[in-house]
Amino acid sequence: MQNEGTALADATSNAVTRATQEVPVDAAETNRSRSAETSGPDTAADAAQHDSSGKPGHPEPAGDSTPPATPPTSSDTTPPNSSGPDTTATDPFALTTAVAIAAAVRDGAVTAGQIVDAALERIDDGDARVGAFTTIRTEQARAESRALADRADLDILPLAGVPVAVKNNIDVAGEITAAGSVAGLATPARSDHPVVRRLRDAGAIVVGLTEMPEGGLWGVSDTPDRISRSPWNVRHSAGGSSGGSGAAVGAGLTPVAHGNDGLGSVRIPAACCGVVGIKPGRGVVPAQVGVDSWGGMTENGALATTVADAALVLSVLADRPALADLEPPTPLRIALAAGSPSPLIRVDRHWTAAAQAAARLAGEAGHTVVPAALPYQGATTALALRWLANAAREAGAVANPELLQRRTRVHVGLGRAVLRAGLIRPGQVDRIEARLQDFFDRHDVVITPTLAAPAPAARSWHARGWLANVVASVRYSPFTPLWNLVGWPAMSVPMGLHPRTGTPVAAQLAGPPGSESTLLCLAAQLEAAQPWQRTA
């Protein structure tokens, strides 16, 4: 057994190393769905006919020398024009943040029904382009919006009438929890997951369930039915595994969305889609995702177009109203750790610049910022082993494992070998956590790039091989998994657009246990100093 474990650990390390090298891409895609075909180009020939927003007729900006676009800003409180009355508070299409929607519904300026109808119209108009939703709850959402009007506590609900999208791997009563797969039981859930129940209790309306890769295993979101795409450039993936949620919020289809994060699955799509995404620390929000929440690595979190909206949703998910209060933090000791977690992974200079820009803004806000190196030692192997083992544990509860996708079956097989060899040991994480605790004795927050490169191409990754999928996930998202391994909070904040691809770039903020409020308040300072265009 010891020989098997040593060999498997070596093989896992080699696979991660190979994932940083070029792997040939199949010449043709299979199982391309009608939904994917209508939502954007899937080949280089198609892409040549689209600009960076996926619209025909304009070539993509060429070369890194193209100056980055300066995004306009928007506000729910800004009148739509300089003449005539301000109808923002009563026009459901002008209300685009959760904070503004809930205030207007509580005040009676609009009804939840009007807000839901506006959201459903946006989804009907825009979802084919970005592939965000697996299920649209048209009639159910309208019925729930009518019922909301009869609630005696309507005037105090923090999310009154706010349309929300929910990732399709937690239970929504009456809906099938597919988790991106056909291998599970096609039986509607009998009750809501605790997170969904908290959203509903706060007045939110679930308008749909969002796309994800099978089992949440991959950093790109697609199934045989659809491909989730970045609304900023539909040739690129929306990320994963909460890719549908990121696409829904980034395209302005819903103001906020639920996601969960086991290796970066909220922060990755948030970065790909130009929105805010926060993963709370372990135990802050009820997890209960799959068999054992990936051994405690997965947390439920929020995606939103503003920090205030992300804080509001997290305050509801955590049942901690104070998290919605965004006051300027006391001066912080901030570390800028923009270096790659691995010498084998190159970080795109525009993603490095995103972290540097966030650090500069933090310094201008009065915080002390110093360069530093995060202690990543041992994390790559520990994460790779758990990525495999957790997949095997989840597959053990699947009703029809023979229906799992080929890439997933390979991953699960390797994970079973990891478990047989006894390669998952608590001491691995204990040592990493001890080094991080020492790091945070000297720093309050660390800033890194959220990603190392723009998202992979939007294509049918589910039909490709295991190694190609490992490459797609590992090479562009090496910064996010560390915080899942130790269960500490982290979030992604937009920092502009990549000049070559037109896709967003972002900075990751992370801190020790209990620092969710600090991260949110710092993110709000960055947003105030450098506002971003909230939707594509």
Catalytic residue numbers?
167, 241, 265
Residue pair 203/164 in contact (Cβ under 8 Å)? The answer is no
Residue pair 279/301 in contact (Cβ under 8 Å)? The answer is yes
Residue pair 252/122 in contact (Cβ under 8 Å)? The answer is yes
**CB-side exposure of 67: number of CA atoms within 13 Å?**
3
Residue pair 187/195 in contact (Cβ under 8 Å)? The answer is no
- Cα separation of 171 and 206, whole Å? 12
- Per-residue burial over 166-184, b if 16 or more Cβ lie within 10 Å, else e, is bbbbbbbeebbbbbbbebb
**Which strands make up the sheet holding 490-497, listed edge to edge?**
133-136, 205-210, 163-167, 256-261, 299-304, 276-279, 490-497, 504-510, 445-449, 333-336, 368-371
- Per-residue burial over 248-265, b if 16 or more Cβ lie within 10 Å, else e, is bbbbbbbbbbbbbbbbbb
The residue whose two tokens read 């506006």 is 118
Q: 480: helix, coil or strand?
A: coil
SS (H, E, C) 197-208: HHHHHCCCEEEE
C-beta neighbour count of 378 within 10 angstroms:
15
